[in-house]
Amino acid sequence: TIVKKILSKKIQKEGFKMNKITEVKIERGIPTLYVDGQPFWAFAGEVHNSAAYAPDRMEAEIWMKMDQSHLNTLIVPVYWETLEPEEGSYDFSLVDSLLEQAVRFKKKLILLWFGLWKNAESAYVPAWMKQDSETFFRAEMYGGERLNTISPLCWEAVERDAAAFSRLMGHLREVDKNSSVIMVQVENEVGLLGTERDYCRQAEEAFTGNVPDKLMDAAVKSGKIRARETGWPEKADWTVVFGEDAGEIFSAWFFASALERIASVGKKEYPLPCYANVWLKQFPWYAGSYPSGGPVEDMLWVWKAAAPSLFTIAPDIYVPYVSEIMEKYTRPDNPLVIPEVRKDAVTASYALYAYLNCHALCYAPFGIEDLWQKEPDVIPKEVTEALNIDPLSFDMTGTKETLGEVYRLLGEIKSLYLRYRGTTHLKCFLKNAEGEQGCYLKFKSYDMEIRYLPQQVGMPTAAGAVFELDENNFLIVGMMCNVCVHTKPGDHRKVDFIRKEAGTYSDGQWRCRQRQNGDEKIVTMLYDMPECVKMELFKY
Ligand code: DGJ
């Protein structure tokens, strides 16, 4: 038996080595996702919540359609309720179907662990847990009303979740020999709705106790509170230390600690990159109108301190100010991953900006399968209201073609991006708001005036990038803009083209759609389909 044990350990280890597991590496200060040993952009879409209960329908309605929009990755839930229907007995059949389909359709997967918490509720926990609210106690509002959310202080529940999650990760390690799964999201949009914190008995006890030292240290380090030496009372409870933010910080600490436990136990089995997503802080801005305790921007310092096993916090973006959110969640300690984003036509523009400017590892409009349906289901307004989602973000007029073309084109220019990212030779632009007229990008010998075309319903917005290939050669990639070249200030010569071509890349080759001169050289206009213009310039 000892020999057997050693052998099976060896096999396990070598099997594990055979998987080229996904890694996030920092290169020239830029996070890079390595999949199968190569830098990888996840051109993704997230499926609707209930899609993964039915693998057959997924096959016909999703996997078979992905190439239409040049997706290379699908984001799909794994439901705890189906994974562990009886306590301690596991059923991996849905997961196995996903893995099989991913291999057959040559795609990658990001799995969403719908465990203890999903959108501030505990709707995906197995029935045996749902029905035992004695052991698995629920969070309470002030006054004792129970929420349909298991308390983040219920360690008993957290441990069961961690056990199930680690079984899932162990299963992936054993069976996912193709490394189809490239990342895992732990839970989904956690926090408490309707209250800034839990008021159950256990929470009350913790809230009137001292703030944990680790959190105190993190608060001092991030400048939230002054250092302890300068005089904290002996008993520093949450309200004394954090004042009116105490409730939200308390929730963030317990949710983040729970996710840390779950993620770390899972990663011990199989160290895939794990992250948490966030329901953003948005109007009307008070904790509880969005899930309180979730990793909103103000709470990132708590989450970073409590949950180091999560490599990033990923925003779900349905608000109109998408680029602002992308920029906030792009930090040296937080690579940009967007597991859910609006899917109206402007999403194509944001995708371009996310990858080229914010170095996103993943971008995924939500409910991606709707793109491929003749008559997509209308999302009831009750749903968008309950989730505080801008209903316009689900209007897909014009999205299918432009998003697909952005994904395709980005795939083609990836090696150029890898060469120029992080240098002054690559500059990006995006129209953020209706009033914005354009931007002026400065390079070594020439400057580019980019005029944004007016916004139209069902069309992307102005977005793109300029690559300075050498002093006189440029590649412009983008849409909805007009580009005009200038000499540098003080250089009174004029600019003209030696050669100008509009076109695209395919199979790694430049495909000239039109060589341009005469009338066509007067303006350089990019319309709603993403395109490229190559120009060789001279001055006279
Ligand atoms: C955000 C959630 O994370 C998703 O699972 C889904 O519920 C969307 N909102 C809205 O459809």
The crossing angle, in degrees rounded to 10, of helices 155-175 and 93-104 is: 40
Q: Percentage of the chain with pLDDT > 70?
A: 96
Ligand 1: residue whose CA is nearest its atom 5: 49
CB distance 406 to 422 below 8 Å: no
Q: Give which of 282, 257, 429 is closest to 342, Cα–Cα.
A: 282
pLDDT digits (tens, 9 = 90+) for 148-190: 999 999 999 999 999 999 999 999 999 999 999 999 999 999 9
- Residue 185 Cβ inside 6 Å of ligand 1? The answer reads no
Ligand 1: distance of its center to the CA of 139 in Å? 21
For helices 2-18 and 155-175, the axis angle rounded to 10 degrees is 80
Residue found by looking up tokens 């006054």 in the block: 143
Query: Ligand 1 pocket test: which of 75, 316, 382, 395 has the largest number of ligand atoms within 8 Å of its C-beta?
Result: 316
| pLDDT band, residue 17 (cuts 50/70/90) | very low
- CA separation for the pair 77, 67 (Å, rounded): 21
**The pLDDT of residue 408:** 97
Mean pLDDT: which of 223-237, 388-402, 408-422 is highest?
408-422
pLDDT band for position 250 (cuts 50, 70, 90):
very high
Nearest alpha-carbon partner for 183 in 371, 41, 368, 332: 41
Residue 245's SS3 state is helix
Position 4 pLDDT exceeds 70: no
Instruction: Indicate the top mutation candidate among 47, 110, 119 to test ligand 1's pocket, ranked by most ligand atoms within 8 A of CB.
Output: 119
Atom of ligand 1 nearest to the CA of 189: 3
C-alpha 60, offset from chain centre: 26
pLDDT of residue 229: 67
Q: From ligand 1's centre to the CA of 537, what distance in Å?
A: 48
**Distance from the CA of 46 to the center of ligand 1, in angstroms?**
10
Strand 337-341 vs strand 362-365: parallel, antiparallel, or unpaired? Answer: parallel
316 lines ligand 1 (CB under 6 A): yes
Q: What is the pLDDT of residue 379?
A: 82
Residue of 278, 340, 394 with the most ligand 1 atoms within 8 Å of its CB, for mutation: 340
Predicted local confidence at residue 7, as pLDDT: 46
In 3D space, the residue among 485, 476, 481, 493 whose CA is nearest the CA of residue 537 turns out to be: 485
Of residues 334, 316, 291, the one with CA closest to residue 152: 291
| Residue minimizing CA distance to atom 4 of ligand 1 | 49
How does pLDDT run across 33-59, given as a tens digit for each residue? 999 999 999 999 999 999 999 999 999
Output the pLDDT for position 286.
98
State in Å: Cα 313 to ligand 1 middle.
16
225 C-beta neighbours (distance < 10 Å), count: 19
How far is the CA of 338 from the CAs of 120, 264, 310, 350, 455, in angstroms?
Answer: 19, 22, 15, 11, 24
Residue 316 reports pLDDT greater than 60? yes
Lowest mean pLDDT among 8-22, 261-275, 487-501: 8-22
Mutate to test the pocket of ligand 1, among 185, 188, 342 (most ligand atoms within 8 A of CB): 188
Spatial separation of the C-alpha atoms in residues 330 and 350, rounded to whole Å: 14
What are residue 125's phi and psi, to 5 degrees?
A: -75, 150
The band of 11, judged by pLDDT with boundaries at 50, 70 and 90, is very low
Q: What is the 3-state secondary structure (H, E, C) of 9-20?
A: HHHHHHHHHHCC
d(CA 384, ligand 1 centre) in Å:
9
339 CA closest ligand 1 atom index: 3
In angstroms, what is the span from residue 402 Cα to ligand 1's centroid? Answer: 23
Residue whose CA lies nearest to ligand 1 atom number 9: 387
Q: What is the mean pLDDT of residues 496-509?
A: 94
46 Cβ below 6 A of ligand 1: no
Answer whether 120's CB lies under 8 Å from 192's CB.
yes
DSSP string, 409-478: HHHHHHHHHHHHTTSTTEEEEE--STT--EEEEE-SSEEEEEEEPPP-TTSPPSEEEEEEEETTEEEEEE
* Best residue for ligand 1 mutational test, from 366, 382, 385 (most atoms within 8 Å of Cβ): 366
Quote the crossing angle between the two packed helices 346-356 and 399-420, to the nearest 10°. 10
Tell me the residue type at 198.
Answer: D
- CA dist., res. 242 & res. 244, Å (int): 6
Q: Is 366 in the pocket of ligand 1 (CB under 6 A)?
A: yes
Confidence band, pLDDT 50/70/90 cuts, at residue 231: low
Closest ligand 1 atom, CA of 49?
5
Structure tokens that stand for 260 in this block: 């840390």
Interacting residues of 485 by C-beta distance below 8 A, sequence separation 6+: 446, 447, 448, 449, 474, 495, 535, 537
Query: Counting Cβ atoms within 10 Å, is residue 340 exposed (0-12), middle (13-18) or buried (19+)?
Result: buried
How far is Cα 473 from Cα 487, in angstroms, rounded to an integer? Answer: 14
- Which residue has the least CA distance to atom 6 on ligand 1? 49
Tell me how far CA of residue 93 lies from CA of 175, 283, 296, 316, in angstroms.
12, 41, 35, 28
CA of 66 to the centre of ligand 1 (A): 20
Rounded to whole angstroms, how far apart are CA atoms 273 and 141?
Answer: 34
Average pLDDT, the chain: 94
Q: Where are the alpha helices (DSSP H) in 52-176?
A: 55-61, 80-83, 93-104, 127-130, 155-175
Decide: 248 in ligand 1 pocket, CB within 6 A.
Answer: no
**pLDDT tens digit sequence for 102-144:** 999 999 999 999 999 999 999 999 999 999 999 999 999 999 9
Q: What is the three-class DSSP state of 99?
A: helix
* 3-state secondary structure at position 297: helix
The span from the CA of 309 to the CA of 305, in Å, is 10
Find the mean pLDDT for residues 471-476.
98
Give the Cα separation of 224 and 482 in Å (integer): 46
Rounded Cα gap, residues 461 and 453, in angstroms: 8
